[in-house]
Amino acid sequence: MKSWMRALILAFFVVTLATAQGNTSSTQNDELYFLARTDLKAFAQRVSKDSKSELGQAQAIVRWLAKNFEWKFTDYQRRTVQEIIERKGGNCNELALVALSAMKELNIKTRRVHEINIHVNTPDRGLRAHELVKQKGNTLSVFGRHHNDHVWLELFDSSANDWFPADPSSGLVGVEDWMKGRVWFAKRVTLNPLTDDMIVPFAVFAADDSGKFTINRTQHYVIDEFDRLYDGKLSKLPEWNRWVTLVDLLDDKVGGAFAGSINLHEYESEIDELATVYEQLRAAMKSK
């Protein structure tokens, strides 16, 4: 057989195999989506059937949702979990609600998490945010010209006896993945199209048993784990003390904004400075 004919046959089999694999994957996803719509427990069991721990089960659920559900901008409509599934997408809060419900079907202990992050500076967005605060109160000050809010989950893994992040809109599960997708200075790889706009979180609160965001996780993620990610080198930089001071100051104000007692827009200059310090830390680490 001539070499060109052999190559042609080989190419044909490669394309055929790839098509078959693609069709199989598509069929499996269709089946999983049907289960999610009709029997959320069966969906959770099926999608995580190869997982051996709560963390592994959560990874399977979160990554499937991030890959197969569409990110949609907030439209301030209240939807049930079933309505979000039927819509096959939603904003961060809606995707978190679906993931939380699926994890509960597997008896995974979960809690909602509300963060505030440095966002790409957008003056028009700031004007809209100020107007919303006038109309609806201080709780809407959690987003503004240079900051934004974001919702995800924490899950409790009994084998590790600890809480871990799980972000259904980005597909990030576990401390290492979450830190590298949300905090570190190098290129980030997530499934959220808005990741690059959410520069770095500066306040993180988990919900207590009553549903109020009172469990402070800022120190854990934004200071301790941030420094650990760089092997303790950040805390040796002169800019680090200012980072910690501003995070502590704004962390307290964010707690008040969640409670409706503080307008976070009154601290825009501190948020601007924190964004500058983050870039100074990035530059300092790059020069090492």
Nearest to 277 by CA among 246, 236, 235: 246
- 189 band by pLDDT with thresholds 50, 70 and 90: confident
Kindly state the percentage of the chain with pLDDT values over 90.
Answer: 80
Q: Which residues contact 113 (CB under 8 A, 6 or more apart)?
A: 151, 152, 153, 154, 165, 204, 205, 206, 207, 213, 217
- Furthest-apart CA pair in the chain: how many Å? 80
pLDDT at 181 over 80: yes
Q: What is the mean pLDDT of the chain?
A: 90
> In whole angstroms, how large is the CA radius of gyration of the chain?
22
Distance CA 22, CA 78 (A): 35
Per-residue pLDDT tens digits for 90-106: 999 999 999 999 999 99
Q: Where do the structural domains in the chain lie, given as residue ranges?
A: 108-286
Distance CA 265, CA 286 (A): 32
Per-residue pLDDT tens digits for 16-43: 434 444 455 678 888 988 888 999 999 9
